[in-house]
Each structure stands twice: as structure tokens, then as C-alpha cells.
Structure 1
Amino acid sequence: MQIYPAFHIDKKITDAADEALRKAQPALKRIDEVTDYNQQKMLAAFIHCGVSESHFAASTGYGYGDRGREVLDQVYAQALGAEDALVRYNFVSGTHALTVALFGVLRPGDTMLCVTGLPYDTLQSVIGLTGDGNGSLKEYGIHYRQVDLKKDGTPDYEAIEHAVQPDTKMVYIQRSRGYSLRPSLFVEDIEKIAAIAKRRAPNCIVMVDNCYGEFVQKEEPVAHGADLMAGSLIKNPGGGVAPTGGYIAGRKDLVESCSYRLTTPGTGREIGCTLGNNRELFMGAFHAPHVTGEALKTAVFTSALFEELGYAVTPRWDEPRADIIQAVLLRTREALIAFCQGIQKGSPVDSFVLPEPWGMPGYDCQVIMAAGTFTLGASVELSADAPLRAPWAVWMQGGLNFHSARLGSMLAAQSMLEKGFLG
């Protein structure tokens, strides 16, 4: 691999990178095949929905009759294989989109059953599992139950069968691993859970936190039994262009209910000006399948590289993938910090910044985050983060293009070498 002279990377690392790239070729080819399919699917959605330059125009005030907003919803619905979608720049995060969906379809006395263990940290306060409960589902009388994953991190289908009751209102699935080492879920896994749920409670809502999973496979959870899913536009579906936002997609009646929670009952999706954001949201959607493919290639390369350097990784470079996240077990707090600081050095923005652990709101311990991104916190761009706790794993994701993002992984290894963590 030819390295530009400005980057001083030890031969030990460049040799490992060459070998990693060589052996990863079959996996990279499989990613290209999925990306090609999904990019064609997205183009078909744009053509079918008749996207026009007029749809990029800004609206203000109430936003009545904003055709761009309406067509953007249609594009996402078709590309995601959903009956309907609600795509808005004023979803401030993936957690916000998930929260709107939960409050949109759950009512006091309902039971939410999470079948993938404890949800991601920031959703725990939404449910009422942490914090003072103010404004949580718990405060509104919505009950929560949980089915833990098996010891190997996979869904416990037998336990799910027993846990779903005829009156269970929602079966909730977190597709991605979050800050855990369990496997992320494929749409085929979600389909199996949905079949169990519908057999036990035909009227229950199967909802999926789809963050980090969009366009990784050829189909999405709503094409495999899920009724509702949500995610963030500064992850996969925003293509590295959307400056903020999120989406909810799925069954038409459920999306409509969610729109009443986002705005007001009766007005729902019919109001909400776009303030000139439509162009970036359309462009981000168009780029999303390709950028997701680049992020997947970066994850595969990082997995192969750090395996070559003697570290345990999950997933391994040759394993199928259900999301863009790559975990590397770095063994010590200091090595983890060095890795994140190296990723920052390989970022196009704020490369001179030195990430340090801090007490980030919503987490129960210090967290370190490396993200030299064009959009603040955009984890479809090259980034790495981790809670400062055992097993001292780092979760790396993103990469707008493979050529520069793989260099970021090599600089992470170089940072570790310089601090004495590579033999």
C-alpha cells in the first residue's frame, strides 16, 4: 500500500495493512455487490417519486403544502421498503426519533417488551430505567419488561416465546450492539423474532432501533416482519451530507400516530417548515447506500488489520455484517485512549485535537469520543468511541470514503505503537 509522504507510519503497520487488505478482498467484493444493489434501489426511488429541483425550496412558518417534505418521505419509504416514512431535520438524534415513535404508539397501561437485553444507554432514561423518571415512559404508566440475550449474545428465542403475552403491546428490538460485544442482528433474525411475537400476540407492534443498520443488507427490518423502525440521519441514511435529523418508517397508521407526537394531534405531518434543509436531506439519502458501503469496507479493513496486530476483534473481517460498527478489544484503558487519539489524527476536521475521557450526559461512566467530522457527532463519518470500563473495547464506525478512512485506522495503530502498546 502506497502511503503519502506526509503520513509517517511504521513499516510494521504498513506490512500488516497490506496483508489485511489482501485477505479482505472477498469480503470487500461482497460489500460492493450489496452497495450496488442498494444504490440502484435508491436511484429507482428518486425516479419513481419524481424528485425535482423545486422540492429543494425552503418553506417557513407552518410549512403547509411543503412538497419537498412530502416527497422526501416518499423517497425514504420506497428505499426502505416501508408503507410510509416521517423524515425530519428537527429530530435531534436517533434517540429522539425512537422516543417520538415510542410515545407515538404506546399508551398508559401498555407493556413494552425489549427482547435484546438492556437497551442502549441513552434510551434507558427514556424508558425510566435510569435518571429521575421525569417525562419517561414509566411516569406515563407504560410498563417495561426485558428478555436477556443468551450467553453468546444471540436472541433467546425460547425465552421470547414465553415472555410475549397476548396483551403485549410492543416487542422492541435493538438491531445494533451498542456498547456491548454481542452480535448485531440481521433482518433474518428480526424476522424470526417478529414471527414469534405475532404468533403469541397478533396485534403487537414489532419495533426496531435500526441505527447503524440501514443499507447494510439488501432489505430492511420492515420488509421482514417489523411494523416500525427509526434511526438517525447523521448515521447511515444521511449519507454524510444530512446535517441533522432522523426518520421513522413502517406501517402507515403507526407512522401517522408518530407524527401526532412529533407535532400535534390533528396536524401531524401536515405542518413543519423545512427552512431550506431539503436539498441536503435529499442529497444525503442519495449518497447513503454508497457511503454505508465505504463505512463497511473500513470496518472490514480495521478488523483484519488489528487481528494481524494481535488483537481480538468482533466481527472478524470475514464474518457477515448487520451494521457498520467494528469493535476492537484493546485490553487496557491507556491503549483505548491511544487508539481514539490516533483516529482523531486521521480525521479531516480537528485532526489537531486530543480526545480525552469525560463525563458525558446519559452515560454511567467516563466516555472517550474521537470524531473529526464535518457534521458534529456524525458517526457515519470516521469515528471511534468507548465507555472507560472493562473490557476496554473501542467501537469504531463510519468513513465517508474507504481510501482516507483506512488510513485513519492505520494512524490509530501508529498512535498505539508510539505509546508502547504494539510489540
Structure 2
Amino acid sequence: MKRNPQMNPPWIQLKSDIEKQIASVVQQLEQTVDENQMKVMRAFQHHRVSDYHFQGSTGYGYNDRGREILDEVYAEVFGAEAGLVRPHFASGTHTIACALFGVLRPGDELVYITGRPYDTLHKVIGQPGDGTGSLQDFDISYQCVDLLEDGGVNWPQVEQVISARTKVIAIQRSRGYDWRASFTVEQIGEMTKRIKAIRSDLIVFVDNCYGEFTEMQEPTDVGVDLMAGSLIKNPGGGLASTGGYIVGRRKLVEQSAYRLTAPGIGSEVGAMLGTLRAMYQGLFLAPHAVGQAVRGSIFAAALFERLGLSTQPRWDEPRTDLIQAVQFEQESDVIQFVQSIQKASPVDAHVVPEPWDMPGYDHPVIMAAGTFIQGGSLELSADAPIRAPYIAYMQGGLTYSHVKMAVLEAVARIYPNGMPEKESSTF
């Protein structure tokens, strides 16, 4: 049987050097993992999670104790009054849409203060009279305040756009396709205080996708009113096959539940159909799995910086989400990197991704996602818009070893003749 080629000696030595370099940062990361693991375990114990909670329900799903306790566990883990955790959320976008439609009414206004949100939310926000049932189609107005050049919030502009009609102030924690730092929990806490000082009745909403368990606190621990995320990202631990969560103030969570099901029904129904065990176990494993992914991102950043490339964040900078951005010198390199991540995947490794014109994007995009869960962003994946500057966005990795192997194989393919001459003297 033909074996896969082994990594050549220069890259083996580089791996060892990188791991020595990042050791102190990894040690700090382990403290975060331990704190979050203890937090999750204590919540399970406090709510007396038992085997019968995993059984699930059918039909209407009345009196599903496993579903009810899972909501309470999530609320405690995230420092919130209430939680809504369901496989019926089709995606992070659907979860966020339910939260926004749940609390906004015709005549209200939504203001994003962290720049344009993810592309998938643009259709949710929509245009006035577009006939799609978007927010603006329901006479819910929308404004977006661009970030400053340094990545900070433009507070003078925020104060200018807030009006009597404004009801929800939205914050996107992660960077999306922007070359900037994602927002830390501390920064989100400061934003929340400043928003409440402007007007105390404003609802602060956070899109928490990619951020869960990367820090010891979550945005709802520091005053955020409502927050949403996807179970096929961090909190699903690589086991939840679909779903999302909403946590926050009890009234707001229940209003979101009315949008998911129907007014008067809310969170009281919804058959879980055999999903509960994976959702519970995934949550329990999530702090460790997230720690593995973040450790892989730290390794990748240090590796690419050794090769003279720019990264965001840098290897020794604080982390608040899974995403690692790397800027390559030319189009062919970014394409080869994404293709290499696919080639190093456990699923569909034989598939070669190519750039294509995805709906909603201004440039062709190439994506690698050899994942067990379709679109599972806690698993190793990478994508890049094909435009200058040539930036690839890598996220996830259920095991550190997988991320490390994948990025080392990627650089070996990009630099088949060994390390770039300008860096080779370092080793």
C-alpha cells in the first residue's frame, strides 16, 4: 500500500521551534479551558443532569424535561436569566433573525455599531418593501455605523444616529471578512455601559458566533441583554449536528421563542427528536474543543509570522474567537493554502475547492470544509475572498494535532523548495 509522503526535515524542525515559542501562551490558554470546563461542569451538576434528560420527545414535545433543563444549563453557563436551545434553529443566521424579529416591532430601529454584519444577515435586514418579510419590509428601520480606521467604535456617529425610534443596538463580536481585531468581552462590556448611558432602555444584542469559551466570561456576563449563536460552532463541541441558542433577559428570550414557534406557544413545545444527548455532551466538551482550535490558531499564526507573512491576531495577542486571518503575497498562495486545508481534512480530502461567484459576495470566494458536520465551523475550515490583499480566514479544529498537521502541510506545498530564503537563516 502506498503511504502518504512524510514531512521533510526543515518543516519538522520548524514545528518543534514553533511549539517552544508558543509554550507560555498555550499555558495561559489552558487556564481559560480549565475555568470554562469547571463552569460547564458545575452547571450540569447544579441542574442535576441525568440520563433521562437525554431521551427527548416527539409530537408537540410537551413537558420535555431534557429540553427545559438544557435551557437552564445554557442560561447558567452564559450568566443569563434564560436560555433557548433548539435543533429547530437552522443556522446562526436563523437564530439571530429569530432574536431580532422577536424583540423588534414595526416602527422600531436596529443599529449595528460594529460595521456591516455578516453577508448572510443582509437579506434578513433587507430593503423597505422588498416583499421578502425582511426587517425593513416590516417597517423596522436599520442603520449601520462603520468602525474607525483603528477598528474602534465611532461613538460620535453612534450618538448621532440613535433616535427615539432606536430599540436594538447590535454588536458583532467576530471580525467577519475584515482585517481587524475581534471584540473582547471586556470591550463589549464597555460598549454596553456606554450604550446604556446614552439611553438605559436600549436593548444590546450580541452575535456571539465563534466567540464562546475563548475567554473566561461571555458578553451576557457583562451586561448584554440578548445574545445568539450557532451549535455547529463552538458550543456544540463538534457533536451537535444542527441548532442554535439564544440567552439573555427572560422576557427577551421568550419573545424570541414566540418568533421561533408562535405567540402563546414559545418555548413550551418543540420535539427534540433524539438530539439532546449530543447537545448536552457537545456543550460539556466545548471548552476543551475550543481550546484545541485556539491552540491551533496560535500555532498557525506563529508559523506564518516566521515565514514573513502578516497575521491577525498575531500569535501572542489575546484571543476572543476562533478566526485566524493570514495575508498572503499572491493569489496563487491563498488558493493553495485553502486547497491544502481541504486536502488535510478527514472528510472529502479528495475534493479540490476552486474559487466561485457565491451569491451575496462581490468577489469569487474559495472555501475548504472537510467536516463531519456540514458547515461545522468548530471543525477545521478555511475560506478566502479572491481579492487583494489576499487574506485567508482559518477557523476551528477539533484537535490541535490536526490543525498543526494541516498548516504544516499547507506551507510545505506553498514552499516546496523549503523555507523562504529571507527566513531560512533563522533556523
User: Which residue of the partner structure matches residue 318 of structure 2?
Assistant: 320
Residue of 210, 220, 227 corresponding to 2:218: 220
Shift of 1:210: 0.3
Could you tell me how far apart the structure 1 residues matched to 2:13 and 2:128 are?
47
Give the secondary-structure state (helix, strand or coil) at the position aligned to 2:30: helix
Does the aligned pair in 1 maintain the 2:56–2:67 contact within 8 Å? Answer: no
User: 2 CA distance for matches of 1:7 and 1:79?
Assistant: 44
Aligned to 1:103, what secondary structure does the other structure show?
helix
Contact between 1:301 and 1:317, CA under 8 Å: does it hold in 2? yes
The answer to whether structure 1 residue 27 and structure 2 residue 22 are counterparts is no
Determine helix, strand or coil for the equivalent of 2:283: helix
Where in structure 2 are there 5+ consecutive unaligned residues? Answer: 422-427
Aligned to 1:97: 95
From the superposition, tell whether residues 197 and 166 of structure 1 become closer, same or farther in structure 2 (CA, over 3 Å): farther
Q: Which letter does structure 2 place at the counterpart of 1:105? A: V
Please say if residues 353 and 366 of structure 2, whose CA atoms lie closer than 8 Å, have aligned partners that are also in contact: yes
Match 1:265 to one of 263, 266, 279: 263
Measure how far apart 1:365 and its partner are.
2.7
Aligned residue among 284, 287, 302 for 2:285? 287
Return the match for 1:401 from 386, 399, 402. Answer: 399
For residue 395 of structure 1, give the secondary structure of its aligned residue in structure 2.
strand
- Superposed CA deviations along residues 331-363 of structure 1, whole A, max 9, x for unmatched, are 322111100111112212222221111233343
- Aligned to 2:142, what secondary structure does the other structure show? strand
Give the partner amino acid of 2:192: A
Asked whether the equivalents of residues 49 and 75 of structure 1 are also in contact (C-alpha less than 8 Å), the reply is yes
1:167–1:201 Cα contact (<8 Å) kept: no
* Alignment equivalent of 1:201, drawn from 183, 199, 203: 199
Q: How does 1:165-184 map to 2 (within 5 A)?
A: 165-184=163-182
> Aligned pair in 2 of structure 1 residues 313, 161: CA closer, same or farther (>3 Å)?
same
TM-score (norm 2): 0.94
Corresponding residue for residue 412 of structure 1 = 410
Aligned to 1:233: 231
SS of 2:153's equivalent? coil
SS in 2 for 1:291: helix
In the TM superposition, residue 130 of structure 1 has moved relative to its aligned partner by 11
Moved more, 154-163 or 221-230: 154-163
User: Offset at 1:124?
Assistant: 1.1
CA shift for structure 1 position 138: 1.0
Q: Does 1:136 align with 2:134?
A: yes
Which amino acid in 2 is paired with 1:273? A
Gap change, CA 1:338 and 1:37, over 3 Å in 2: same
Q: Whole-Å Cα distance in 2 between the matches of residues 338 and 202 of structure 1?
A: 50
CA drift at 1:193: 1.1
Residue in 2 that maps onto 1:38: 36
CA shift digits 1:169-215 (9 cap, x unpaired): 01100000001111100111111111111111111100000000101
Counterparts of 1:130 and 1:385, CA distance in 2: 32
Of 185, 188, 195, the residue aligned with 1:190 is: 188
* 1:105/1:19 CA distance change after superposition, 3 Å: same
**Match status 1:242 vs 2:252:** no
Correspondence for 1:383 among 378, 381, 384: 381
Q: Take 1:413 and 1:235, find their aligned partners in 2: how far apart are those partners?
A: 26
Corresponding residue SS for 1:384: strand
Contact 1:160–1:196 (CA under 8 A) maintained in structure 2: no
Greater than 6 Å deviation, 4+ residue runs: none
TM-score, normalising length from structure 1? 0.95
Q: Is the alpha carbon distance of 1:27 and 1:276 closer, same or farther for their aligned partners in structure 2, counting shifts above 3 Å?
A: same
Distance in 2 between the 1:212 and 1:136 partners? 25
8 A contact 2:127–2:137 mirrored in 1? no
Q: CA deviation at 1:408?
A: 0.9
